[in-house]
Amino acid sequence: MRFANMRIYTFSTTENITLSILELENLYRNVYELWIFGYGSILWKPGFTYKSREVGMVKKYVRRFWQGNVTHRGTPESPGRVATLIDDQQVNYCFSELIRLKTLFKGEVWGMAFQLVGRTMIKKALHHLGVRECALGGYQATVVPFEGCGINGEKTQHNVLVFRASPENPYYMGPAPVKDMARQIIFCVGRTGHNVEYVTRLADFIRRHIPHDRDKHLFELDYHLREILKQNQTWLDNVLRTTRKKESWHIRTLLDKQNKISNMTVPN
């Protein structure tokens, strides 16, 4: 398994420290509390026990579907696209993005921070995420500051552990026109489910639970995927056929005429 190259950038030092996932578990062995930031499938399927969660954001990053996946949402022959965090400076200097943005901007990514309490809970979560995100996904662990919205709307701040993919990892795919991404995703399926279900479910989760998030990249990709399925019954049938039964309810709602999302327009 691919643990050896994972890095964590500690928030308490100016030096980068290279750690294996086992070393990461050891680092937090005597820590009683740890926060994990989710911005992709962790939002609806964390896969670990947690005490509480908070809606909030991390700054200086943007969410982009630039990471390839050959296990959960694709195969080596047909890799899917999944979300990762991209440094906003990297996006600003990416030629394909500059064409659209026209100007520099400061990034922010909305998601949820999951609170882990106790050695057992922390150890089990780190082991699960080490396999899921690092060994199988090609992600690295990074510690970043998080600004949360408390129960009564008061602001909170935590250092959170987040998993993101760097351009150096072998699964990194990089930027592409959103329509091209959608046409690629339509054909990708992995052992966890169809790539379409990953994108549309993430978009629906954000709309329902974090409605003030205005992630144009995510919602534009979601829109084009729904349009493709609306116009091609064969592709829709293929998505349904390769989606787990317990998840098929989500796909079936994509083209429901009573669902207001099916009538949405491209985000401005």
Q: What is the three-class DSSP state of 18?
A: strand
pLDDT at res. 252? 62
Average confidence score pLDDT of the chain: 79
Domain segments of the chain: what residues?
Answer: 7-263
Residue 258: other Cβ atoms inside 10 A: 7
Burial of 125 (0-12, 13-18, 19+ CB in 10 A): buried
Predicted confidence (pLDDT) per residue in 223-240, tens digit: 999 998 888 777 777 777
Catalytic, 133? Answer yes
Q: What is the pLDDT of residues 6-63, one digit of tens each?
A: 333 222 322 333 355 667 777 777 788 999 999 999 999 999 999 999 999 999 899 9
How distant, in Å, are the alpha carbons of 75, 133, 166, 226 from that of 67? Answer: 13, 12, 9, 21
Mean pLDDT within 62-90? 91
For the chain, where are the E strands, in sequence order?
7-8, 17-18, 33-38, 52-59, 61-69, 80-87, 108-117, 140-149, 155-164
- Cα 185 to its chain centre, rounded Å, is 15
Among 133, 154, 168, 247, which one carries the catalytic annotation?
A: 133
- CA 42 to chain CA centroid, nearest Å: 7
pLDDT band at 249 (very low <50, low <70, confident <90, very high): low
Q: Angle, to 10 degrees, between the axis of helix 216-231 and the axis of helix 195-209?
A: 130
| CA dist., res. 72 & res. 80, Å (int) | 8
Judge whether 38 and 114 are in contact, CB under 8 Å: yes
pLDDT tens-digit series, residues 80-123: 999 999 887 666 555 444 445 444 556 899 999 999 999 889 98
This model's pTM is above 0.75: yes
